[in-house]
């Protein structure tokens, strides 16, 4: 794996005053880091060195943070999503299409995770004939708001949707994806169709769900390694507690 795309355009409204003046990715986590630093440290450790970040809200602050802290370690490109306050992340994913190839992994911005999750994900990409996959937490107890997935006995994902019944679900998609070749092409065709139909307020996962019968997309487990997304104040508290148990490389100390 050589490239990564990070979707970081959102306004983080559910975090209230915390994201009134700064983007979610610059939320302080722990004593000396912000949220995006944890993803970048894991990518650096995994030897992913070309990063494309789709920005939106407060893009200048994101670019400044990268320039001051990361430009000497990794190579960056920025894409500005001017519709960040109007459209959901489906449009951010669409804007990144020209930077997305078979050496690219996709990350949602609002996650903090143990670095072994990314390392094992990349190892799977190398060991499993380059199959397309989503990283799934099949250990945690699910709730209604989770982006849940359903799989068949072979581990192929047959449905991804927040509205899936918990009892029918294999686990939660954590926001790390690898889409290969024709699978990726069909995914983008689904995105384009939705945008043509003015379905702007949906997730890229919804576009992916529409083509699951046409592609071979598999579940790659977190193997119980810790992670969390940061959508709410409670999530932020959990992320801060989790970060306190990570060392610089994103491993538990």
In a domain, 249, yes or no: no
Range of the structural domain that residue 149 is part of: 3-243
Calculate the alpha carbon distances from 140 to 72, 113, 221, 227, 237 in Å. Answer: 37, 14, 11, 10, 18
Q: How confident is the model at residue 121 (pLDDT cuts 50, 70, 90)?
A: confident
In a domain, 148, yes or no: yes
Count: domains in the chain: 1
- Enter the pTM of the model: 0.93
In a domain, 248, yes or no: no
Return d(Cα 100, Cα 174) in angstroms, integer.
19
In a domain, 130, yes or no: yes
Percent of the chain with pLDDT over 70: 94
CA dihedral 27, 205, 105, 55 (to 10 degrees): -40
In a domain, 120, yes or no: yes
The tens digit of pLDDT for each residue in 133-167 reads: 999 999 999 999 999 999 999 999 999 999 999 99
178 Cα distance to chain centroid: 10
Q: Is the pLDDT of residue 251 over 60?
A: no
In a domain, 180, yes or no: yes
Instruction: Give the domain CATH number at 77.
Output: 3.90.550.10
Helices (H) and strands (E) counted in the chain, each on its own, are: 7, 13
In a domain, 253, yes or no: no
Whether 246 contacts 186, CB under 8 Å: no
> What end-to-end distance do the CA atoms of the chain give, in Å?
27
The tens digit of pLDDT for each residue in 207-241 reads: 999 999 999 999 999 999 999 999 999 999 999 99
Q: Which of 129, 128, 77 is nearest to 100 (CA)?
A: 77
In a domain, 251, yes or no: no
Q: Is the pLDDT of residue 25 over 50?
A: yes
């Amino acid at each position: 794996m050589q490239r990564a795309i990070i979707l970081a355009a959102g306004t983080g409204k559910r975090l209230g005053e915390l994201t009134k003046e700064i983007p979610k990715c610059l939320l302080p986590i722990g004593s000396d880091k912000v949220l995006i630093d944890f993803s970048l440290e894991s990518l650096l450790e995994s030897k992913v060195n070309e990063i494309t970040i789709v920005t939106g809200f407060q893009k200048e602050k994101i670019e400044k943070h990268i320039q001051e802290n990361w430009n000497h370690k990794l190579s960056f490109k920025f894409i500005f999503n001017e519709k960040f306050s109007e459209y959901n992340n489906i449009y951010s994913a669409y804007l990144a299409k020209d930077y997305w190839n078979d050496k690219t992994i996709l990350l949602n911005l609002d996650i903090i995770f143990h670095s072994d999750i990314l390392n094992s994900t990349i190892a799977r990409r190398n060991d499993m004939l380059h199959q397309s996959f989503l990283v799934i937490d099949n250990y945690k107890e699910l709730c209604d708001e989770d982006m849940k997935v359903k799989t068949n006995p072979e581990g192929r994902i047959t449905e991804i949707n927040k509205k899936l019944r918990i009892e029918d679900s294999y686990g939660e998609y954590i926001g790390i994806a690898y889409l290969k070749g024709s699978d990726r092409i069909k995914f983008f065709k689904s995105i384009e169709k939705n945008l043509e139909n003015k379905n702007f307020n949906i997730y890229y996962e919804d576009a992916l769900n529409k083509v699951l019968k046409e592609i071979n997309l598999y579940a790659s487990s977190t193997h119980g390694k810790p992670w969390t997304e940061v959508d709410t104040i409670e999530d932020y508290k959990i992320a801060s507690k989790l970060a306190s148990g990570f060392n610089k490389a994103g491993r538990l100390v």
